Structure 1
């Protein structure tokens, strides 16, 4: 099974079959440059708005921490940009085509400079705990991304599994501490995206990335997560959600499921 570059009206079918869809040139070079320049200016001026991943002071990720929920910082240029793109029809439109009406749940920006570790294989909904459905991610490349600079790896078809309990990750390779063991018969595929491309993928799809082994190439990405409007609960961290008109929506909080998401059990593919 391989990743498809999809065009409407096949979006929903490709998403259902593979759990991941690649759309090329979703953003223009000028739009990519605006996003890149705003986030670089912010992290160089004041990186305290970044998320504390408890890395050492000598880790390059201490200088370039990922930004989590920048859309909530509308007092900052990066916050206004993140919220604008989070609700932009070019991002939301394909998602609605794939899963129906949604609320916006999360924004993130990863810098991933040279020498930065990657993020071990994982499934997003173990964090969001959106029920009864799952989340969907929009992963937008701000740089050309490939295996050398730590581009995303995905496991097409793994979305047919529910959340599985992770084991320990290799700390030399991943800044996060847990890693999913791949279901039998599945392999991780290296993606290659040009700046402005986007990957859309299912909340149960296994994905991750290796370290940035390039000499001088960043692997920056702007990432959004969405949940269907009929979701009945989500982890506390993601409330309030945003409706597509920008208004805030609060749904019930999911119980703390622990490291493995208590109540979720692996199921056979169908």
Structure 2
């Protein structure tokens, strides 16, 4: 693909942050997105899912879904169909940070809008590369908090430095009271080393595809944990999965 040369591309990460990313496998960009933009985006997705004639791309991916699923099942790859979601994938601060950690321009390959209503389960510890193989391996995630997120409403947990362990085996989820049973779980890692990634609305965590991370059950009674996640690769990498081969330039 032909890339645009952009002299105005942001370089938001300091040397200290780049060193932290190299050591820990992640970096949190504090208040990287404005509350106003997030409020508009949440309302936009809510409107789409609330429609009687919901567009096919937004329909919950479940055989026989109910009204309750409208605001519980994730919206998968909205950037392929929805202009607002596409622009959220292409935020200048994300583009700039990715170029810094990857050493070259990144492209988007996947997006997901998560609801995680009160009482919903988390996802067991895993590494993104297990699900999204790419060569050369440059897969990187940008996970945006669409509201304040902490241990009560199911924040992310991560093991700092675990991206240096390489790809570990994955097996069946062990604690189905805490985690969704349909995913796979990293095996052989010391999960006692996981730490919570407490984030405020508008924070974005950039993390390596081999970082071991998870989320816990939303134990609140009235707080959601909405988030928007983009997955990216360096422009010269190739995704193995057929459904993720479309590369989205970020300029």
Q: Specify if TM > 0.5.
A: yes
For the Cα contact (< 8 Å) 1:47–1:64, is it kept in 2?
no
| Aligned with 1:171 (options 163, 170, 176) | 176
For the Cα contact (< 8 Å) 2:159–2:191, is it kept in 1?
no
Alignment CA distance shift 1:182-1:38 (3 Å): farther
**Would you say 1:24 and 2:30 are equivalent positions?**
yes
Gaps of 5+ in 2: 1-11
The more displaced of 114-123 and 168-177 is 168-177
**Would you say 1:234 and 2:240 are equivalent positions?**
yes
Equivalent residue number for residue 257 of structure 1:
none
Alignment CA distance shift 1:66-1:185 (3 Å): closer
**Would you say 1:210 and 2:216 are equivalent positions?**
yes
Gaps of 5+ in 1: 1-5, 74-78, 246-270
Q: Which structure 1 residue ranges, 4+ long, deviate > 4 Å from structure 2?
A: 53-58, 60-63
For residue 55 of structure 1, report the CA deviation from its aligned partner.
9.6
Instruction: Give 3-state SS (helix, strand or coil) of 1:36's partner.
Output: helix
Alignment CA distance shift 1:217-1:55 (3 Å): farther
Equivalent residue number for residue 52 of structure 1:
61
Distance in 2 (CA, whole Å) between partners of 1:37 and 1:93 is 27
TM-score (ref. length: structure 1): 0.79
For residue 51 of structure 1, report the CA deviation from its aligned partner.
4.8
Distance in 1 (CA, whole Å) between partners of 2:140 and 2:119 is 29
| Aligned with 1:104 (options 98, 104, 108) | 108
| Aligned with 2:90 (options 82, 87, 92) | 87
**Would you say 1:72 and 2:80 are equivalent positions?**
yes
Equivalent residue number for residue 133 of structure 2:
129
Higher RCO, 1 vs 2 (CA within 8 Å, ≥6 residues apart):
2
For the Cα contact (< 8 Å) 2:159–2:193, is it kept in 1?
yes
Q: Map of 1:106-255 to 2, 5 A cutoff?
A: 106-169=110-173, 170-175=175-180, 176-184=182-190, 187-245=193-251
Q: How much is the aligned-residue C-alpha RMSD, in angstroms?
A: 2.3
Alignment CA distance shift 1:154-1:56 (3 Å): farther
For the Cα contact (< 8 Å) 2:107–2:233, is it kept in 1?
yes
1:64-102 per-position Cα deviation (integer Å, ceiling 9, x unaligned): 2101110011xxxxx211111212211111111111221
For the Cα contact (< 8 Å) 1:146–1:193, is it kept in 2?
yes
Distance in 2 (CA, whole Å) between partners of 1:42 and 1:152 is 26
TM-score (ref. length: structure 2): 0.85
For residue 62 of structure 1, report the CA deviation from its aligned partner.
6.5
Distance in 2 (CA, whole Å) between partners of 1:230 and 1:216 is 44
Instruction: Give 3-state SS (helix, strand or coil) of 1:121's partner.
Output: coil
